[in-house]
Amino acid sequence: MTSFVPLVDLTRGGTLECQHAGAIAVADSDGKLLARVGDPHFIAFTRSTLKAFQALPFVQGGGPRHFGFDDRNLAMLCASHSGEPMHVTQVQSVLDKIDVSYRKLQCGCHVPYFVELGVGPAPAAIDERHHNCSGKHAGFLSYCAQHGLPLDSYLEPAHPLQQAIRRDVARAAGLAPGDLKFGVDGCSAPNYAMPLSSLARAYARLASGPADSEFGESFAQLAQAMTSNPDLVSGTGRNDLAFMRAGRGDWVTKVGADGVQAIASKSRRQAIAIKVADGNKTALFAASVEALDQLGWLDPKQREELQPWRAEVIANWRGTPVGARKAVFRLQAG
């Protein structure tokens, strides 16, 4: 863990109580490292930040046009959604267009995020469509349906879909497929670890859209879908929704489980990749806002909009302030 440095401190009564360490990489679409904190080449699992790139084979193959997907359908392929009715509706829309039952989804089930967040009561019945990764899995099935591939084994690493994903993920990150470290995500899909600097580069390329010589049209479609439908990519009260709204169409952002986040700017063709070592989400969001601020990406209005995500005041159950949370890092030139 020597790759990590302190990012966010928590104090109670003026005394340090917790410290969240991590690493940050800022890179452009050519892979040039622009800024860093800790080891910018730390190899971290990408988790759900990978979703837009897992959709690349489908988009590259003309899948959205083949099935008549709109950008709301495409946004769901990149989503870690809250399982709200609008999300379930869009996942079902994808499945209807490819004529595949939701029972073919192999993501499993969990209580929808919107219930855990107190946004609304639990639905009468919960199924795979409520899973936060169901849109990604519907995209997997879409690729298989288009190319006549087996549906029951679509998560197997040797399946042609997963081989195509590994190939395109590596290309987007500027790596060889063998450089990607294999793991299995919470939704049972293959996931890959890569250097933070490579993840930042991939996001900078995603945000550059048509300017990318290799995946330009596909990146343009994916980035547009995400920034036009941030409510579908995440959900009510969620971080990706708040950040992309604050970015006013310029920021492509995605949070992943266990303390990883990527934020890219279309106009700058640059991106930030952050990993918080202990996976603490509150510390991750505080560090992300601080990184954006230090890079000069925030105007006064954006700084105000994202201020709640710094979560600077720690209050007890009575609402009394009892501590403070503060970002303590400084970005260094790459």
Q: Per residue in 191-223, pLDDT tens?
A: 999 999 999 999 999 999 999 999 999 999 999
What pLDDT score does 2 carry? 75
State CA 186 to chain mean position distance. Answer: 14
In sequence order, the 6+-apart residues with CB closer than 8 A to the CB of 226 are 52, 75, 78, 233, 244, 252, 254
What pLDDT score does 334 carry? 85
Q: Is this structure's pTM higher than 0.95?
A: yes
Residue numbers in the chain where pLDDT is lower than 50 = none
In contact, 316 and 308? CB cutoff 8 Å: no
For the chain, the domain total comes to 1
CATH of the domain at 318: 3.40.710
Strand 5-12 versus strand 313-315 pairing type = unpaired
The parent domain of residue 214 ranges over 5-333
Residue-wise pLDDT for 228-280, tens only, equals 999 999 999 999 999 999 999 999 999 999 999 999 999 999 999 999 999 99
